[in-house]
Structure 1
Amino acid sequence: MKAVLFDFSGTLFRIESAESWLRAVLEAAGVALPASELADKARALETAGALPGGASPVRLPAGVAEVWRVRDESAELHRAAYTGLSRQVPLPDPALYDALYERHRIPAAWAPYPDALDVLSGLRERGLRVGVVSNIGWDLRPVFREHGLDRYVDAYALSYEHGFQKPDPRLFTVACEALDADPGGTLMVGDDRRADGGAAALGCAVHFVDHLPAAERPDALRTVLDLVG
């Protein structure tokens, strides 16, 4: 292997819990809810799939279903999809829906998996080039910079910047070309078997990890170092 591509959410980083997400936004807005009501609202938002990087929607409302399918193809579609889902849950102030969306885009809302630093630095030490290939509607580079991981990433291929999303092979092609890497010598690591598995169409090897809370997945990425030899 000469290069490794990584997915972002659920692979290298994990979003905060729905309750932490909602609490932070309510506190910033000066809105107080009883603890039990806050917990209920957080569970409802999670069921709705309103937290990007969190659980998928249990049910897609008719007005959101179409935009959900292509949500990662532009910043506008991404915002529309997730604020549309969050609006299924009644909140005290309509401004909170946009505030929730803005909250998930800041570095403080994300944490790298415990082994991410060691694995990325290990790949750099071995001379492998690293790319991040993400279905997303906003610039995640500041998240990597804030957490000290940007120095280990050589290229980013973000769906909203190109107008197509995984599993479309074109997004993986963008990443491989940016790394000057032959797909046959490239490993794609992700948590979504359909989206990330699209790299196989180019001839990339593919390895999957489970999308779990960080505390439940302390060392799954370390297998990557064994796979690249």
Structure 2
Amino acid sequence: MTAVLFDFSGTLCRIESVDSWLRAVLTEADLTLPEAELAETAQALERSGALPGGSTPAHVPRELAELWATRDSSAERHRAAYTGLSRQVPLPDARLHDALYDRHRTPAAWAPYPDAVEVLRALREGGIGVGVVSNIGWDLRPVFREHALDPFVDSYTLSYEHGVQKPDPRLFAAACAALGTDPRDTLMVGDERRADGGAAALGCRVHFVDPLPIAERPDSLRPILGMVG
């Protein structure tokens, strides 16, 4: 392998909990909820799947089904899909739905997995090309800069910037082209078997990790170092 492509959410970084997400937005809006009501609201938001990078929706309303299926193809569709899910849950102020969406795009809402910097640095020092290829509706580069990951990334291939989303092989082809690497010499690392597994159609080798909470996954990325070079 001469290059490695990484997924973002659940692979290199993990989104905060729904409870933390909701509390941060309520605090910013100078609003409070009784603890029991806050816990109930957080659980409802989790079931709805309104937090990007969080739980899969327990149910996607019929009116959102088509939007949900193509949510990562544009910034507008991504926002509409997730705020549409959020709006299934009553909140004390209707403006909080957009505030919740805006919160998840901030570096403060994300944390790298414990071994992410170590692995990316080792790949860079070993002369291995590193790319990020993500199904997403917003620019994640500020997250990488804030968490000191950006110096070790050579290219970013984001679905909303290309109008195509994983598992479509065209997104992986664009990622390989950005690195100047042959897909057959490229390893794709991700946490979603259907989406990230699409790289195999180009001839990429694919390695999966579990999108566990930060504390439960201290070193799942380290084995990658033995797969390249």
Q: Deviations over 1:60-101 (max 9, x none)?
A: 111111100000000000000000000000000000000000
- Distance in 1 between the 2:220 and 2:39 partners? 30
Secondary structure at the aligned position of 1:88 is classed as coil
Task: Tell me, yes or no, if structure 1 residue 197 matches structure 2 residue 197.
Answer: yes
Letter of the aligned partner of 2:184 in structure 1? G
Task: Tell me, yes or no, if structure 1 residue 215 matches structure 2 residue 215.
Answer: yes
TM (norm. structure 1) is 0.99
Query: Which is further off, 5-14 or 31-40?
Result: 31-40
- Distance in 1 between the 2:211 and 2:23 partners? 23
- Distance in 2 between the 1:156 and 1:210 partners? 22
Task: Identify the residue that residue 169 of structure 2 maps to in structure 1.
Answer: 169
Task: Tell me, yes or no, if structure 1 residue 10 matches structure 2 residue 18.
Answer: no
Structural mapping, 1:14-93, within 5 Å: 14-93=14-93
Task: Tell me, yes or no, if structure 1 residue 111 matches structure 2 residue 111.
Answer: yes
RMSD: 0.5
- Distance in 2 between the 1:35 and 1:178 partners? 48
Secondary structure at the aligned position of 1:156 is classed as strand
Structural mapping, 1:129-140, within 5 Å: 129-140=129-140
- Distance in 2 between the 1:36 and 1:2 partners? 52
Structural mapping, 1:113-128, within 5 Å: 113-128=113-128
- Distance in 2 between the 1:39 and 1:111 partners? 23
Q: Where do 5+ consecutive residues of structure 1 fail to align?
A: none
- Distance in 2 between the 1:43 and 1:221 partners? 30
TM (norm. structure 2) is 0.99
Secondary structure at the aligned position of 1:220 is classed as coil
Deviation at residue 37 of structure 1 after TM alignment: 1.0
- Distance in 2 between the 1:191 and 1:12 partners? 10
Secondary structure at the aligned position of 2:92 is classed as coil
- Distance in 2 between the 1:55 and 1:152 partners? 29
Deviation at residue 134 of structure 1 after TM alignment: 0.1
- Distance in 2 between the 1:210 and 1:106 partners? 23
Letter of the aligned partner of 2:163 in structure 1? G
Q: Which segments of structure 1 move beyond 6 Å, counting only runs of 4 or more? A: none
Secondary structure at the aligned position of 1:228 is classed as coil
- Distance in 2 between the 1:37 and 1:20 partners? 14
Deviation at residue 39 of structure 1 after TM alignment: 1.1
- Distance in 2 between the 1:207 and 1:225 partners? 12
Identity %: 72
Letter of the aligned partner of 2:192 in structure 1? D
Letter of the aligned partner of 2:39 in structure 1? A
- Distance in 2 between the 1:144 and 1:224 partners? 20
Letter of the aligned partner of 1:140 in structure 2? L
> For this pair of structures, how many residues does the alignment match?
229
Secondary structure at the aligned position of 2:193 is classed as coil
- Distance in 2 between the 1:143 and 1:48 partners? 25
Q: Deviations over 1:28-50 (max 9, x none)?
A: 00111011111111111010000
Deviation at residue 226 of structure 1 after TM alignment: 1.1
Deviation at residue 22 of structure 1 after TM alignment: 0.2
Secondary structure at the aligned position of 1:91 is classed as coil
